[in-house]
Structure 1
């Protein structure tokens, strides 16, 4: 006679599901940001590799590789440390409600930041760093609140604007020749456009 199987209650199942979702996001974000630190330590330990040359070089065919590699390249410990907080906080918020949201924001920010730096950056300069991703995540979260009009998304958008609004404004202005304002504004626009295109597609389907 077959033994009866035990079914978990709804509350326990819900807690287990939430725990799995939290764990998967924590692991992904740790690996994502950790990989940037790993590349930084490798670059610092082996300077002869000159990894930073793989950043975005404006209007150079070889410089297009920086669209993919630039977020993993940083000039100094202060540089990567300054980007880490934004990557962790804003990246975490982009992971909800679905992990696909994080990848959408990441791809949009990388393409926007890289292409804008390549098109409008100063000739013979090299653009590196993950700040374009930070700006892209912020743009994605703000735009999601605006376009979806969902209560939680609006709350997150307002919190992002309150916490990062001044930094976003200063970062897209050409005030410091050592900062890539081109990648900042490109990342911001990339994050916004991803949400805008998704919103348009959803409206057509409805």
Structure 2
């Protein structure tokens, strides 16, 4: 399949970048943790994007790596890399803004889990928004494998950003509807008026 190789390379590169950043963070004495989102502080809006690429230690990163890779690969495979990246951009912004608006005072939020929940929401919704039976079946398969993650949108342990999860999921659903309106690029441009 023509989309498989770019989707695979994208997710391999993305997850490798997350590990490189966490190694750099560890070697720097966790200096990169300052790029987390601190709620309702205007300068912190600039940290919405970097916060999605950084983690509080290797255990935190390891918990996000496999679902990010699997769900991201499926989404990129089904939508194409460009549309997938557009969905991830929207998810990242919605999740980050949700954390910035609603997280507990004096908290600091980092991690790719908001994006993971967003891609999950995107995959669960996309088959219905695009009226595509294969994507509905993929969504059902994802629900069976990763549906238990949805409990993470409920308030729970104090050190887990349920706000990032909830708004990430909402961003994924929003992305599925938003991208439905965009035309797919054809693999080969149409040529007219050429003999």
TM-score bracket relative to the smaller structure: 0.7 to 0.9
8 Å contact 1:112–1:188 — kept in the other structure?
A: no
Partner of 1:93: 74
Q: Work out whether 1:58 is the aligned partner of 2:39.
A: yes
> Separation in 2 of the partners of 1:141 and 1:96?
11
8 Å contact 2:87–2:179 — kept in the other structure?
A: no
Partner of 2:189: none
> Separation in 2 of the partners of 1:135 and 1:108?
13
> Separation in 2 of the partners of 1:85 and 1:129?
14
> Separation in 1 of the partners of 2:36 and 2:20?
17
Q: TM-score, normalised by structure 2?
A: 0.88
For residue 23 of structure 2, the aligned residue among 41, 44, 61 is 41
Structure 1 portions without partners, runs of 5+: 1-17
> Separation in 2 of the partners of 1:30 and 1:201?
27
For residue 132 of structure 1, the aligned residue among 114, 121, 125 is 114
For residue 86 of structure 2, the aligned residue among 96, 104, 125 is 104
> Separation in 2 of the partners of 1:96 and 1:195?
15
Deviates more, 1:192-201 or 1:154-163: 192-201
8 Å contact 1:94–1:101 — kept in the other structure?
A: no
Deviation at 1:42, TM superposition (A): 0.3
Q: Report the number of matched residues.
A: 182
Deviation at 1:197, TM superposition (A): 2.2
**Pairing 1:112-151 to 2, within 5 Å after superposition:** 112-151=94-133
3-state SS in 1 of match to 2:77: coil
Deviation at 1:200, TM superposition (A): 4.9
Q: Work out whether 1:27 is the aligned partner of 2:9.
A: yes
> Separation in 1 of the partners of 2:179 and 2:11?
23
RMSD over equivalenced CA pairs, Å:
1.5
Structure 2 portions without partners, runs of 5+: 184-195
Compared with structure 1, are the counterparts of its residues 24 and 158 closer, same or farther at alpha carbon in structure 2 (3 Å cutoff)?
Answer: same
Deviation at 1:166, TM superposition (A): 1.6
Instruction: Select the structure that is richer in helix.
Output: 1
8 Å contact 1:94–1:105 — kept in the other structure?
A: no
> Separation in 2 of the partners of 1:165 and 1:111?
23
